[in-house]
């Protein structure tokens, strides 16, 4: 995950450093319908925005290739979304996330002792990213999306959870490296951006820590025809999809702008109600 305030241990060159950050071959068959519903089982209602697993894999492959092409141009450049990090720090972080999830799927539980492995420190950043991505794809190819895999979401302990999660992780970090490089950033896939809004609200925000200072206010996020009503209760955030509008304070943006704002990668959309600041601060503590 991608929180600027969270510390992570990441192996770099010849040492393990603590640094800070703000997070192929496709399987046979087109996995849609009931298998997408199985992947999102346990939610109050299956996500209507989930893509097919083949599509996640296509986008993960595309985003990884774009990210890997940015490694050399950004090694020494500061990453705006990750204060104190340069491109090498972000690449090593992303690689270790890939490897951690590959090991989680391979062994059936998340790595603990001796993590990350010291041996990865000898690899230069580009080679490390390639190695860890290959290990991740090896595990994705060896499993069905419905196979068990440990995650922090009790009701979704599947490989499919990580296919979706790491596609979004790679998109955000590809954007981060583009933002660090000279030139312009590439637009996000529109359907993936809508799914990303849904994922960050339900998987991250709705599972965040209690906030005794919460206002109990509600903010409505609108992306085209889609909406999410977010109630900021002290114990937990409650998110509902596509409920009728009833005078709620509303924040409107296109899918890319909304997703990047939620992840702290873009300015707050214009005409934002006061509850938008509270939502973003609470989400930042959940990432």
Is 138 a member of any domain?
yes
Provide mean pLDDT across the span 265-271.
93
Please tell me whether residues 162 and 105 are part of one structural domain: yes
Is 1 a member of any domain?
no
Residue 219 makes CB contacts below 8 A (sequence gap 6+) with: 229, 230, 232, 248, 249, 250, 251, 273, 275, 276, 279
Q: Which of 156, 186, 216 is the last residue of a domain?
A: 186
Please tell me whether residues 60 and 87 are part of one structural domain: yes
Q: Which helix (H) or strand (E) holds 249?
A: strand 249-252
Under a CB-based contact definition with an 8 Å cutoff, are residues 51 and 157 in contact?
Answer: no
- Compute the C-alpha angle 227/228/230, nearest 5°: 150
Please tell me whether residues 104 and 244 are part of one structural domain: no
* Residue 5 pLDDT class (50, 70, 90 cuts): very low
- Compute the C-alpha angle 239/241/244, nearest 5°: 110
Structural domain boundaries enclosing 246: 202-284
The candidate with the shortest Cα–Cα distance to 95, out of 137, 132, 120, 57, is: 132
Say how many domains are in the chain.
2
pLDDT in tens, 252-266: 999 999 999 999 999
Please tell me whether residues 100 and 153 are part of one structural domain: yes
Is 150 a member of any domain?
yes
Is 194 a member of any domain?
no
Please tell me whether residues 26 and 162 are part of one structural domain: yes
pLDDT in tens, 192-202: 999 999 999 99
Please tell me whether residues 60 and 96 are part of one structural domain: yes
Provide mean pLDDT across the span 98-113.
94
What b/e sequence results for 12-34 when a residue is b if at least 16 CB atoms lie within 10 Å of its CB, and e otherwise? beeeeeebbbbbbeebeeebeee
Please tell me whether residues 15 and 129 are part of one structural domain: yes
- Compute the C-alpha angle 284/120/132, nearest 5°: 65
pLDDT at 46: 60
Please tell me whether residues 230 and 151 are part of one structural domain: no
111 phi and psi angles, rounded to 5 deg: -65, 150
pTM: 0.85
pLDDT greater than 50 at residue 147: yes
User: What CA–CA distances, in Å, run from 142 to 37, 79, 173?
Assistant: 21, 34, 25
Please tell me whether residues 44 and 74 are part of one structural domain: yes
pLDDT at 42: 35
């Amino acid at each position: 995950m991608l929180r600027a305030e969270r510390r992570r241990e990441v192996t770099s060159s010849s040492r393990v450093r603590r640094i800070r950050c703000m997070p192929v071959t496709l399987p046979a068959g087109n996995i849609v319908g009931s298998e997408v519903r199985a992947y999102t089982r346990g939610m109050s209602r299956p996500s209507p925005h989930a893509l097919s697993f083949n599509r996640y894999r296509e986008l993960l492959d595309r985003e990884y290739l774009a990210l890997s092409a940015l490694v050399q141009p950004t090694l020494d450049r500061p990453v705006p979304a990750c204060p104190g990090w340069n491109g090498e720090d972000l690449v090593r972080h992303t690689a270790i996330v890939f490897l951690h999830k590959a090991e989680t799927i391979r062994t059936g539980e998340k790595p603990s002792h001796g993590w990350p492995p010291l041996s990865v420190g000898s690899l230069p950043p580009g080679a490390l990213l390639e190695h860890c991505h290959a290990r991740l794809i090896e595990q994705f190819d060896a499993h069905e999306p419905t196979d068990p895999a440990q995650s922090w979401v009790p009701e979704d302990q599947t490989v499919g959870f990580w296919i979706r999660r790491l596609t979004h992780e790679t998109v955000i970090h590809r954007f981060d490296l583009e933002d660090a490089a000279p030139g312009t950033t590439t637009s996000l896939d529109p359907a993936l951006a809508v799914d990303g809004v849904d994922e960050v609200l339900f998987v991250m925000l709705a599972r965040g820590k209690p906030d005794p200072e919460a206002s109990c206010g509600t903010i409505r996020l609108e992306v085209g025809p889609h909406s999410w009503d977010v109630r900021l209760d002290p114990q937990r955030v409650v998110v509902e999809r596509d409920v009728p509008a009833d005078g709620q304070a509303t924040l409107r943006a296109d899918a890319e702008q909304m997703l990047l704002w939620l992840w702290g990668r873009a300015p707050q959309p214009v005409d934002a109600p006061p509850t938008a600041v509270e939502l973003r601060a609470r989400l930042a503590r959940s990432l």
